[in-house]
Amino acid sequence: MHVNAVYLILLGLGVPALTFSGLWFWRLRHQRHAGGRLTETEIAARIAARQEELRQEREARDEHLAGLIAHLLQSAVDARSLQSAVDGRSEPDGARDLAERAIRP
């Protein structure tokens, strides 16, 4: 079987060249679509910065929640004291004084 050498060379070089150029254009198109390309160092720095920002946000939220819980606990304690004072029938004047003190700001 005689095969033309020109065809062989064209095929042997053409198919890999097509593969290479096809992938080249594919990657170029993908990069343009994805926008500016960051280096891995920049990506790592941005991840670290974002992590620190999220940690600070979480700490602030935790402190806020802790303050709310403390305030609610204190309100519950005051309410219980007030209730005890109101229920204490044996000393009506003292209970009334205690209730007035609790209600007073």
Partner 1 sequence: MRTHPWIIWYAVLLHTLWACLLLVSQNPYGATALHVYSALPRLLMAGVLLTASVLAAWAITRRQPSWQTLAALLPQQAILTVSAYAAAAAVVTAHYGDGVIRPRPFILADQAPVILIFALHTAAVVEMHARRTTADVLQATLTAMDTEAERLRPPGPSSK
Q: Which one of 21, 28, 48, 50 is in contact with partner 1 (CB under 8 A)? A: 50
Q: Which one of 21, 46, 66, 67 is in contact with partner 1 (CB under 8 A)? A: 46
Please tell me the chain's helix, strand, coil percentages from 3-state DSSP, rounded to the nearest 5.
85, 0, 15
19-27, 63-71, 78-86, 96-104 -> range binding partner 1 (CB under 8 A): 19-27
Q: Does 75 bind partner 1 (CB under 8 A)?
A: no
C-alpha distances in Å from residue 56, one per residue of 44, 47, 48, 52, 67: 19, 14, 12, 6, 17
Q: Does 45 bind partner 1 (CB under 8 A)?
A: no
What are the residues whose beta carbons fall under 8 Å from the beta carbon of 46, sequence distance 6 or more? Answer: 38
The two three-digit tokens of residue 12, written as one number: 């042997």
Binding site for partner 1 (CB under 8 A): 1, 3, 5, 7-8, 11-13, 15-16, 19-20, 22-23, 26-27, 30, 34, 37-38, 40, 43, 46-47, 50, 54
